[in-house]
Amino acid sequence: MATMTTRHFLQTSGLVLAGLLLAACGKKEPMVPAVTAPTPAPVAAAAKVYVVGTDAAYAPFESQNGKGEIVGFDIDVVKAVAQKAGFEVKFLNTPWEGIFNSVAQGDRDLLVSSITITPERQQTLDFSAPYFDAQQLIAVKTDSKIVKFTDLAKLKVGVQNGTTGDEVVTKLQGKDSANVKRFESTPLALKEMEGGGVDAVVADNGVVVHYVNNNPASKFKTIADTSFASEQYGIAVKKGNAELLDKINQGLAGIKDDGTYAKIYAQYFGSAQATAGAALAPAAAASK
């Protein structure tokens, strides 16, 4: 039997040890499963923001408060319409004289400013369903002898330029009459009457009544006349903008159905109005 020498033993042991070390070094760590990041939830598309033009000098329908914010009945109605129809609105004060051009040129997407729906305006604008019924009203001093509209035929009458009040007085006196005094706003016309600059003011009932009630020192009274035709006003968009008009009408129908419109009406005029388009009391209605 051969005897293993010390040298052979050491050589053999070294080979075994090297094999063990190589085996240890070659050992693989157990696989750790990869962590998959959760799929992010889809982000909802931002609601479309439409720019609304309004002549904010027509309380209680649209005016500016002490902070410069545009507030009023029309503003609350459009906000409610937008919320119901799923879009957002941004209001910009827009002078009445240029308000229709602003939507025609694309500077405004829609208009809400107590705008009476007339055949002439429908030639260049599209209107929503009516949201308010209106009628003209005469304002005079309490000691005035005026009792009806035809009494104004030869008197100085204040109107807001370009409104339906302007139209009816111009029709009564003639387009060349120097007695039709036009102002940028109805409150300016009423202020002129305080100083005796005009004998009467013809304007939208709601605005006139609001001014008279809030300025008792002016000593004005109002006169309703059956010759004034009933008017309706709506929200205006650029001619042919059917997509936006459909959204507005959808929202308007929704706030009438769920009672929101009636609540807004009661907030400003003191009594609930169930549906837009129904006849309103003369003291509460208004239009341009």
Domains of the chain are 49-133+232-269 (3.40.190.10), 136-223 (3.40.190.10)
Q: Which long-range contacts (CB under 8 A, 24 or more apart) does 61-67 make?
A: 61/113, 61/114, 61/206, 61/207, 61/286, 62/112, 62/113, 62/114, 64/93
pLDDT the model gives residue 154: 97
**Rounded mean pLDDT, 115-136:** 95
pLDDT the model gives residue 41: 62
Give percent above pLDDT 70 in the chain.
78
Query: What is the tally of helices (H) and strands (E) in the chain?
Result: 9, 14
Statement: residue 78 has pLDDT above 90: yes
Walk across the sheet containing 136-141 and list its strands: 180-183, 157-160, 200-204, 136-141, 220-223
CB-based contacts of 275: which residues, under 8 Å, 6+ apart?
256, 261, 262
pLDDT the model gives residue 280: 36
- Nearest 10 degrees: CA dihedral of 268, 270, 165, 184? -30
Residue from 248, 254, 252 nearest 48 by CA: 248
Q: What is the pLDDT of residues 166-191, one digit of tens each?
A: 999 999 999 999 999 999 999 999 99
Among the listed ranges 52-56, 206-210, 238-242, which one has the minimum average pLDDT value?
Answer: 206-210
Q: What is the pLDDT of residues 226-274, one digit of tens each?
A: 999 989 989 999 999 999 999 999 999 999 999 999 999 999 887 654 3
pLDDT the model gives residue 47: 78
| Terminal-residue alpha carbon distance, the chain | 128
- pTM of the predicted model as reported, rounded to 2 decimal places: 0.72
C-alpha separations of 38 from 35, 42, 87 in Å? 9, 12, 31
CA-atom Rg of the chain in angstroms: 37
**Rounded mean pLDDT, 130-145:** 95
Q: How far apart are CA 184 and CA 275, in angstroms?
A: 31
Q: What are phi and psi of 104, to 5 degrees?
A: -65, -35
pLDDT the model gives residue 285: 41
Split at pLDDT 50, 70, 90, the class of 7 is: very low
Q: How far apart are CA 36 and CA 57, in angstroms?
A: 60
Q: How far apart are CA 213 and CA 191, in angstroms?
A: 14
